[in-house]
Amino acid sequence: MSERRERRATEGQRPGRRKGCSAKDKIARQRSRGFFPPNEMSKVGAMAEPKQINEIVRMATTANLSADAFVSTFSAPTTDSEGREALEITIVLTPRSSEAVKGDAVLTNLVQIQRELQNIGEQRFPIIQYATQEELSASDDS
């Protein structure tokens, strides 16, 4: 074995492949961005990390609504009317951006977020709420 091949073998790389291009590396990169291939679901567990959830929501919302409309997102565990665990996701939009949003975009956003959460093993149904920062800050005395 040549010195170069021996070094690769010691480092766990297969000869003839560049570092970072293997399927394993691709999965690692996807994981770091919050995406998991479907066959990895069982390894992930039932509840996703908030960081993963936020990234899925951000990517979907900027793609389906618009990058200009998206401000931030946060999520919290909750329960539905039957006591089942659910995921309350708040998406903060820029003021007046909802005026340009179409129904197709809202439905596609929900479907995509739910599907991608399932892909990382998250079984809680996402209950999505949209708001502007002003609405979140407003007093609730009305």
List the interface residues with another protein, window 96-125 (CB under 8 A).
Answer: 98, 101-104, 106-108, 110-111, 114, 118, 125
Residue 135 binds another protein, judged by CB under 8 A: yes
The residue from 44, 47, 71, 131 that contacts another protein (CB under 8 A) is 131
Question: In angstroms, rounded to a whole number, what is the distance separating the alpha carbons of residues 90 and 71?
Answer: 11
Q: How many helices (H) and strands (E) does the chain have?
A: 6, 3
Q: Which amino acid is at 37?
A: P
Q: Which is nearer to another protein, 60 or 128 (CB)?
A: 128
> Which residues between 23 and 82 bind another protein (CB under 8 A)?
38, 80-82
Give the tokens for residue 55. 């990234």
Nearer to another protein, 54 or 108 (CB): 108
Helical residues (DSSP H) of 1-142, grouped into ranges: 3-10, 23-32, 41-44, 50-64, 103-119, 133-137
Q: Is 3 in the site for another protein (CB under 8 A)?
A: no
The torsion of the CA quartet 90, 112, 49, 118, rounded to 10 degrees, works out to: 130
Kindly list the residues in this chain that would bind another protein in the complex (CB under 8 A): 38, 80-82, 86, 93, 98, 101-104, 106-108, 110-111, 114, 118, 125-132, 135-136, 138, 140, 142
